[in-house]
Every structure is written in C-alpha cells, then in structure tokens.
A and B are shown apart, each in its own frame.
Chain A
Amino acid sequence: MIKVLIVIPAFNEEKNIALVIEKVTSIVTPYNIIIIPLVINDASIDGTAEVVLKNNCMLINLPVNLGIGGVVQTGFKYALYNGYDYAIQFDGDGQHPADKIVDLIEVALQGYDVVIGSRFIENKGYRSTFLRRIGIWYFKYIIKIFCGITIYDCTSGFRILNRKALEIVSEFYPDDYPEPVSIVLYKQKQLKIKEIPVIMYERIEGKSSIRAFNTIYYMIKVTLGLFFTFFRAIKNRN
C-alpha cells in the first residue's frame, strides 16, 4: 500500500480551497495507492480554516505566517514523521491539475525521487504572464549551468517527492520562492529528477504570491539562492 500526502498550502484562500479539496478527494486512484489531502493554513486572516474543517479535510494551522517555503516544508515534515511514502505539493489556488496527481505518482513509482509537473513541455494551457515566462527561461539556463540538466518549468510547485527527497527538504528548504532553488539542491544530492507535461489553469480567485512588481527582486533573490545552494552543497560534499 502506497500512502501519498497531498500538501495543500493555503493563505487566505477561503474562496478557492473548498473546490481544491473537492477535486483532490474525488480523484480515483488505483487500489494500491491512497492519497490523503492535508491543508496547511499559513495563519490566514480569512475563514480558510473553517472551510477546510467543514469539508472534513486534515488541517494544520500554523500559529504565525511562515511564507510558502516554510508552509510546504511543514507538510513535508508531517509526511516524513507519519510514514507517508510520497508527498505532493498541490497549490491551494486551483492552478494545479488534480487529474495529473496519479500520473505523478505512477512516474515516481518508476524509480524517480522527484517528479515535476511542467507547463512548458507541451506548451498547453495557462502558462503564466510574459514577465514570469522570461524569468523561467532565465532560470532554465542558470540551472543548466549549475546542474547540467534542463528543467523546462523550474517554478512549478506541482511536484512529488519520495522519502529520500523528503529527508533532504526537511533539513533545508528555502523560505520564499523555493521551487527553482530546491532543484539545484536535489541535483546536488544526486536525486533522480523527471519532468512530465501537465496543463495548468489560471488561478480562480485572488492574487499569486509572485506579482509582476516583485519580478526583479524575485530574479535576484533566486539567482543568489541558486548560487549559494550550489556552493554550499559542494562544500558539504568535501
């Protein structure tokens, strides 16, 4: 029996979260796979927690706001402590396709440590704003320089991690904008990474954590993060 935790980070998502939970719980899985959704409420100031409980879903309430990296890491730690085989990050804003969860698990079962759902392999569906696409293109080359692999959608948070990867991320996970930086981390720890094509949707309501206003800051911060994660890993290996 394979237990998979669906980690759903949520910050002020009372309008979207019910639909997201419904989508995840209505997934039909093969008989040997159990998926269990877990919403992590990042100290929301709206009714996110009540909506989650009303939908009879597991909930962890963070007492103070941690930001996306800290929230997702909480879910990964929970999965690790409670004996789950895999954890999937699944955003609470409705962008990630629930019907691809089983695909992620099945690819991971083929022996990959990390499987990423990518928007840019088949270039279908919602592919983010122009500025963000430039950023993603830029990170693709930086990651190629550092790691020697091409990840088409390094900012995608839709990914599955096995226990080996969970152990690594519960030790260290970047605070904000963790997605590109963690790829360098996985590669440095010699995890097997695989990308599969998925189609994403535009968020249903509310604002993304990354706004156009912050793009320059985002790019500088992530570049620094990539750079230092790379050299930290080299230092630790020696």
Chain B
Amino acid sequence: METIVPIRIQIIAIITSLAFLIYIGRLILKEKLREEYSIVWIICTLLLLIFSIWRGGLDIISHFLGVYQAPNLIFAGAIFAIFSYLLHLSVVVSNLHEKNKILTQELAILKKIIEDIENNKGNKKGSIQSNNSPEDKKTIN
C-alpha cells in the first residue's frame, strides 16, 4: 500500500516541525520552560519530524497495528498524548497548590511573630502583652 505524499506538504511539515523544535530549544535556553516539562514536547516534535521525512511510515505502522485508515491512528495517538500531558499538568498544578499553601501559612505566621516582636520593642505595654500574658485573662479559682 503505497500512497505518495505530495512533496510540497512534506517540505512544509518538515519546516514546521523543525521550527517548533527550535522554538522549544529557545524557550529552554531562555529559562522560560523547565527541562522536565519540555521532554514531552521534544519527543512529540521529533515524532512529527520523523513522519514528515519518512513518507510511507505512517501507513506501514497503521497496517502493522491493524488500523484501516492511517489518520485514525494519528488522532488516537495524539488524543492519548494530550490527555496524558493534561494529567501531568494537573499533577504539577496540585503540587504547586500545596507548596503555595504551605508558603502562605508560614509567611503569615512569621509576619505575626515579627509584628509581636516589634510591638514588644516599641512600647512595653504593647498589644502582644495584653494578648499573650496569662495574667490579663479573666480567671476564677
């Protein structure tokens, strides 16, 4: 089963893939994209590049896997890849969320402690003393 891909679209595909790969590389160089999140993108782009160059490849693989129409294989593979990556991003966001929460809490507690110290330094009968000293609380025996 030999379908000839027109040479024009092949060249466009190769150029687009290469441009995308270069763009990812630039993002990493400028430290706008962390390496661990770029691996998926690099692999996907390399796959695109391989199939742009290897013209009959998609048909051969579809035939081998028993997929009747080659584009279906692309859709299935691409959607699966997108879902996996979205899941990965959800994990990343959850992780950030947790760390953000801890930082916020510790920051707020530290600010409170610093305010207490400053109040104590400023005037000896500052609010910290009336708040924290047990003697001021109403107690009965």
Which residues on A are within 8 Å of B, measured CB to CB? 1, 3, 25-31, 34-36, 40, 53, 56-64, 66, 70, 73-74, 77-78, 81, 175
Complex Cα gap A30–B109 (Å): 29
- Asked if B108 and A74 make an inter-chain contact with CB atoms under 8 angstroms apart, the answer reads yes
Say whether, besides A31-B139, A61-B111, A77 and B134 are in contact (CB < 8 Å): no
Task: Say if the beta carbon of B82 comes within 8 Å of chain A.
Answer: no
- Asked if B105 and A61 make an inter-chain contact with CB atoms under 8 angstroms apart, the answer reads no
Complex Cα gap A35–B111 (Å): 22
- Asked if A60 and B109 make an inter-chain contact with CB atoms under 8 angstroms apart, the answer reads yes
A-B pairs, 5 with minimum CB distance: A74-B105, A31-B141, A60-B112, A62-B108, A34-B134
Which size class do B's interface residues fall under?
20 to 34
- With contacts A31-B141, A57-B131, A60-B111 known, what are 20 further pairs, Cβ within 8 A? A1-B134, A28-B140, A30-B139, A31-B139, A36-B132, A36-B137, A56-B130, A58-B131, A58-B132, A59-B112, A60-B108, A60-B112, A61-B112, A62-B104, A62-B108, A64-B104, A66-B101, A77-B109, A78-B109, A81-B109
Pick from B107, B111, B130, B139: contact of A34, CB under 8 Å: B139
Task: Say if the beta carbon of B120 comes within 8 Å of chain A.
Answer: no
Which residues on the B side are within 8 Å of A81 (C-beta)? Answer: 109
Complex Cα gap A60–B141 (Å): 31
What's the least CB distance linking A79 to chain B, in Å? 10
- Asked if B104 and A66 make an inter-chain contact with CB atoms under 8 angstroms apart, the answer reads yes
Tell me the dominant secondary structure on chain A's binding face. Answer: mixed
Tell me the dominant secondary structure on chain B's binding face. Answer: helix
- Asked if B107 and A56 make an inter-chain contact with CB atoms under 8 angstroms apart, the answer reads no
Which residues on the A side are within 8 Å of B124 (C-beta)? Answer: none
- Asked if B139 and A70 make an inter-chain contact with CB atoms under 8 angstroms apart, the answer reads no
Pick from A34, A35, A77: contact of B105, CB under 8 Å: A77
Which residues on the A side are within 8 Å of B108 (C-beta)? Answer: 40, 60-63, 74
